[in-house]
Amino acid sequence: MTGLVYGLSSALGLVSQSLVNHHREVFSFAIKIADAFPIPEHDKGQICVAALLHDIGVVAFNGAITPETNDAELNDHAELGYRLLRDFHPFSPAARMIRHHHKSALQLEEEEPDEPIRLGAGIVHLADAISQRLDPSHCLLNQCQQLCEWAATIPAGVFSPEVVEAFLQQSSKEYFWFDARFATVSQLGGASALSGASVTLDLDGLRELSAVFGRIIDYRSRHTAAHSRSVAEVAAALAQKAGFSDCDCSRMQVAGNLHDLGKLALPVSILDKPGALAPDERNLVKSHPYHTYRILKEIPGLGEIPAWAALHHEVADGTGYPFHLKGDEIPLGSRIVAVADGFAALSEHRPYRLGMERQPCLELLETSAKAGKLDASLVALVAENYDELNELTHSALSKGQQEYQKILKEALYWPRLTAGAKRTGAQP
Ligand SMILES: [Fe+2]
Ligand SMILES: [Fe+2]
Ligand SMILES: [Fe+2]
């Protein structure tokens, strides 16, 4: 479970290396500050998750945090991050910490009744503020004195005095700073008291968490705001018809939710581009299943899920990408995701065309199967069960679109998405 959060957090680095460095730094500082408090392992585990994922609202909604970002905008991304994670129950305390990670100690007192959440949010807030103030081009140890002076003189209502005290105490050890710069996320997790503080996830939990990440992938483009969800549903239904066990059908949903994880590496201009891509853009797109594979392979305990998810652009004749696998080298699970991906993509509305109806959709899939590009027996299964699969796709798409609109509306607005728009006034 800890490995899963580390892996998914590192996937955010595909969007921006500076963001992944920032998450790692905040994680490194936060766990050491948290270690100074006598708090239960479970609460420490939640602080760990909050620190590693605190800016997911920025990724999902294509924002950027700069020195010019004002307080209202900071709280918007915190609110979006909270709304992305809150329904995933094992992380709901972490989601509340994320919601408050830019709030002052005074605001926290007023808005958050639970002390463990206030403490976690306050720790992530201070860790974040330290990370924001570091100059990445200079040795961190040379900057620590200045940062400690800044923290010691900050008014009491901004950060809680106990959290500042814990920071001053922990930051006198040189490794506090070296770790933030040089240690990997798994080294940091393994070396801290948090190594035993992870949350255990069963297969249902894994499926729900993969759905959260599916949303983060999909929300980056309004045109594909439910693609991963739709692929997950269709892939699981096809797997069931192909004779997979219930457990493997659940795993197939995880693979469907995460199959485009590597698309986090693609700029939104490519995701949103109407019509054909230029050759250099196509080359960038070709990297996405590679990234999916590399990231998921690092996460222990996922079994065949990385292969099922990532090999969805491999083709039996060896002309697929990125590994050019042939025939039986491509597992049946990957071929299922490929067919589900093709079916969902054809059925979805895109900026340059409406979703296809039955006949043209099946004709295109069958042409691809005849040309050896898709598994013919799976395409035949799609044809036999078209109505059921079409219904699954449409319901996944409409649910996904509704959730996407709701989350945006409820979390006020995101200025970079709706440039020039006025605040709607809607309150959470
Ligand atoms: Fe933030
Ligand atoms: Fe941050
Ligand atoms: Fe793909």
- For 180-194, the pLDDT digits (tens) are 989 988 788 765 544
Query: Stretch 250-269: mean pLDDT, rounded?
Result: 93
Q: Could you tell me which residue, 135 or 26, shows the higher pLDDT? A: 26
Query: pLDDT above 90 covers what percent of the chain?
Result: 56
Tokens of residue 140, six digits: 């961190």
Determine the distance separating the centroid of ligand 1 and the alpha carbon of 83, expressed in angstroms: 14
Determine the distance separating the centroid of ligand 1 and the alpha carbon of 330, expressed in angstroms: 41
pLDDT of residue 422: 32
User: Has residue 221 got a pLDDT over 60?
Assistant: yes
Block residue for tokens 């996407």: 404
What tens digit of pLDDT does each residue of 282-298 get? Answer: 999 999 999 999 999 98
User: Has residue 381 got a pLDDT over 80?
Assistant: yes
| Dist CA 45 CA 231 (whole Å) | 32
Q: Could you tell me which residue, 341 or 80, shows the higher pLDDT? A: 341
Ligand having the closest approach to the CA of 27: 2
Ligand having the closest approach to the CA of 312: 3
Determine the distance separating the centroid of ligand 2 and the alpha carbon of 9, expressed in angstroms: 13
User: Has residue 10 got a pLDDT over 90?
Assistant: no
Query: What domains does the chain contain, in order, with CATH numbers?
Result: 2-196 (no CATH), 203-410 (1.10.3210.10)
pLDDT of residue 342: 96
H/E element, 5: helix 2-11
Cβ within 8 Å of residue 76, ≥6 positions away: 57, 411, 412, 413, 414, 415
Q: Kindly provide the b/e burial profile for residues 234-246, where b requires at least 16 CB atoms within 10 angstroms of the residue's own CB.
A: bbbbbbebbebee
Determine the distance separating the centroid of ligand 3 and the alpha carbon of 312, expressed in angstroms: 6
Ligand having the closest approach to the CA of 342: 3
Ligand having the closest approach to the CA of 322: 3
pLDDT of residue 401: 84
Ligand having the closest approach to the CA of 265: 3
Determine the distance separating the centroid of ligand 2 and the alpha carbon of 413, expressed in angstroms: 19
Determine the distance separating the centroid of ligand 2 and the alpha carbon of 354, expressed in angstroms: 38
Residue 243 half-sphere exposure, CB side, CA atoms within 13 Å?
3
Ligand having the closest approach to the CA of 260: 3
Determine the distance separating the centroid of ligand 3 and the alpha carbon of 245, expressed in angstroms: 25
Given pLDDT bands bounded at 50, 70 and 90, which one contains residue 415? Answer: very low
Tokens of residue 47, six digits: 């602080």
Ligand having the closest approach to the CA of 131: 2
Ligand having the closest approach to the CA of 129: 2
Query: Stretch 252-274: mean pLDDT, rounded?
Result: 90
User: Has residue 41 got a pLDDT over 60?
Assistant: yes
Asked if residue 322 has a cis previous peptide bond (ω within 30° of 0), the answer is yes
| Dist CA 32 CA 44 (whole Å) | 10
Q: Residues within 5 Å of ion ligand 3 by Cβ?
A: 260
Query: Stretch 39-46: mean pLDDT, rounded?
Result: 89
| Dist CA 323 CA 339 (whole Å) | 18
- φ and ψ at residue 353, rounded to 5 degrees: -165, 155
Determine the distance separating the centroid of ligand 1 and the alpha carbon of 385, expressed in angstroms: 45
User: Has residue 82 got a pLDDT over 80?
Assistant: yes
Determine the distance separating the centroid of ligand 2 and the alpha carbon of 74, expressed in angstroms: 9
- The conformation of residue 4, written as its DSSP 8-state character, comes to H
Determine the distance separating the centroid of ligand 1 and the alpha carbon of 137, expressed in angstroms: 22
Full-model pTM = 0.85
pLDDT of residue 71: 62
Determine the distance separating the centroid of ligand 2 and the alpha carbon of 290, expressed in angstroms: 27
- φ and ψ at residue 350, rounded to 5 degrees: -120, 165
Report which residue type is found at 17: Q
Tokens of residue 289, six digits: 């299943």
* 3 state DSSP class of 136: coil
Cβ within 8 Å of residue 50, ≥6 positions away: 30, 94, 95, 97, 98, 101, 120, 121, 124
Using alpha carbons only, how large is the chain's radius of gyration in Å? 23
| Dist CA 329 CA 318 (whole Å) | 10
Determine the distance separating the centroid of ligand 1 and the alpha carbon of 398, expressed in angstroms: 30
User: Has residue 345 got a pLDDT over 60?
Assistant: yes
Ligand having the closest approach to the CA of 256: 3
